[in-house]
């Protein structure tokens, strides 16, 4: 089976137990205004231009069969990409001597992915690690994601999936036998706030968490801490209370705000909706949120950065 990914990160230690390889699938049903992997929102593969790597040789312009590249005189003779004309032929990427042009993803087969993942099998075995599917959201390419998981489970590899659970439960049901750990993002408890900041309502997400809990799935809930949006006492408290109400052995992990996300939006020529100069939370601030979660009877894993 063929699908689209934007990265495979080896020796990952924040995406489940042990040493892992994380496969980032393209495509997501949500459109969070703070998204830290904006290249994963669309399943479409796009051309990226890194201004700081460009030496202004302009070889790429003549190489494009669709005349999709031109010189933008201001500022500093940078390359301008006409996304309507670009067909991802790749000639500009091949001819660029510095890697200033590259694609934000690639098509790949299940077999190719599994071969890459299995090259680190010894590390999985020694560390009780495995593989994790992330994104985007793996359920956006549900058939492809399931095919990868089935292949890995057939080789006795521990599997995890990072997801917002915005998926029909009929599809989710097929995944349960092949997933050892569901890492579930819960961003906002209030339905209106969830739709405002992510583009979709959250009733199905809550239902699916119940659905997995009732079927004894291994669950970890993550809360990304976005200043002024998700990182509010009431939101943290409501999520913790909800998690405890569906099963009392589910832990929560806090994901600190990543200040480096904005640079990706500049590369993609997109505006970043959050305020500039926002900072990650201090240890004392994180401890405050941890106390709120603990007060609802829920344990907290150590905080990590959004990656």
pLDDT digits (tens, 9 = 90+) for 270-290: 778 776 778 899 999 999 999
- First and final CA of the chain: distance in angstroms? 27
Quick one: pLDDT at residue 307?
Answer: 37
Quick one: pLDDT at residue 232?
Answer: 98
Quick one: pLDDT at residue 306?
Answer: 40
Q: Which two tokens stand for residue 5?
A: 């990914």
Quick one: pLDDT at residue 75?
Answer: 62
d(CA 246, CA 82) in angstroms, rounded, equals: 49
Whether the Cβ atoms of residue 163 and residue 185 lie closer than 8 Å to each other = yes
d(CA 147, CA 174) in angstroms, rounded, equals: 11
Quick one: pLDDT at residue 87?
Answer: 94
Q: Which two tokens stand for residue 255?
A: 């994901």
What residue ranges define each of the domains in the chain, with the CATH number in brackets?
2-43+106-305 (3.20.20.70), 47-103 (3.30.70.20)
Alpha helices (H) along the chain: 59-63, 91-95, 110-118, 121-127, 142-154, 169-175, 191-198, 203-214, 233-246, 262-267, 283-295
Task: Measure the CA dihedral 285/185/299/246, to 10°.
Answer: 140
Strand (E) or helix (H) holding 138: none
Output DSSP code: residue 81: E
Whether the Cβ atoms of residue 137 and residue 30 lie closer than 8 Å to each other = yes
Distances (CA, A) of 86 to 31, 50, 68, 235: 24, 17, 5, 42
Quick one: pLDDT at residue 244?
Answer: 98
Residues in the chain: 307
Buried b (16+ CB within 10 A) or exposed e, 41-56: bbbebbbbbeeeebee
Task: Measure the CA dihedral 44/198/247/204, to 10°.
Answer: -80
What pLDDT tens digit does each residue of the chain (307 aa) get?
A: 999 999 999 999 999 999 999 999 999 999 999 999 999 999 999 999 998 899 999 999 999 999 999 998 766 678 999 989 999 999 999 999 999 999 999 999 999 999 999 999 999 999 999 999 999 999 999 999 999 999 999 999 999 999 999 999 999 999 999 999 999 999 999 999 999 999 999 999 999 999 999 999 999 999 999 999 999 999 999 999 999 999 999 999 999 998 777 778 877 777 787 767 788 999 999 999 999 999 999 999 864 434 3
pTM metric for this prediction: 0.92
Q: Which two tokens stand for residue 91?
A: 């000639």
Task: Measure the CA dihedral 193/195/201/202, to 10°.
Answer: -40
SS3 of 251, please?
strand
């Amino acid at each position: 089976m063929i699908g689209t990914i934007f990265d495979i990160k080896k020796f990952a230690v924040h995406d489940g137990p042990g040493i892992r390889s994380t496969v980032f699938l393209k495509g997501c049903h949500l459109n969070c205004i703070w998204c830290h992997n904006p290249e994963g929102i669309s399943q479409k593969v796009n051309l990226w231009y890194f201004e700081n790597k460009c030496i202004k040789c302009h070889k790429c312009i003549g190489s494009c069969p669709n005349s999709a590249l031109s010189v933008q005189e201001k500022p500093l003779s940078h390359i301008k990409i006409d996304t309507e004309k670009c067909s991802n032929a790749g000639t500009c990427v091949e001819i660029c001597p510095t890697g200033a042009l590259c694609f934000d993803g690639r098509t790949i087969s299940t077999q190719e992915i599994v071969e890459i993942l299995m090259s680190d099998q010894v590390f999985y075995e020694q560390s009780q690690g495995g593989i994790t599917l992330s994104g985007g959201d793996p359920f956006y390419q549900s058939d492809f994601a399931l095919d990868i998981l089935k292949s890995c489970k057939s080789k006795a590899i521990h599997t995890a999936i990072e997801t917002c659970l915005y998926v029909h439960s009929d599809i989710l049901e097929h995944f349960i036998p092949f997933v050892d750990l569901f890492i579930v993002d819960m961003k906002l408890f209030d339905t209106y706030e969830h739709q405002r900041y992510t583009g979709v309502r959250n009733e199905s997400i809550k239902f699916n968490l119940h659905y997995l809990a009732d079927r004894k799935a291994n669950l970890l809930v993550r809360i990304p801490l976005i200043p002024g949006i998700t990182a509010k006492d009431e939101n943290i408290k409501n999520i913790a209370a909800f998690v405890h109400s569906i099963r009392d052995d589910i832990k929560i992990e806090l994901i600190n705000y990543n200040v480096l996300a904005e640079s990706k939006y500049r590369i993609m020529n997109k505006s970043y909706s959050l305020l500039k100069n926002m900072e990650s939370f201090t240890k004392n601030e994180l401890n405050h949120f941890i106390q709120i979660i603990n007060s609802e009877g829920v344990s907290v894993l150590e905080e990590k950065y959004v990656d």
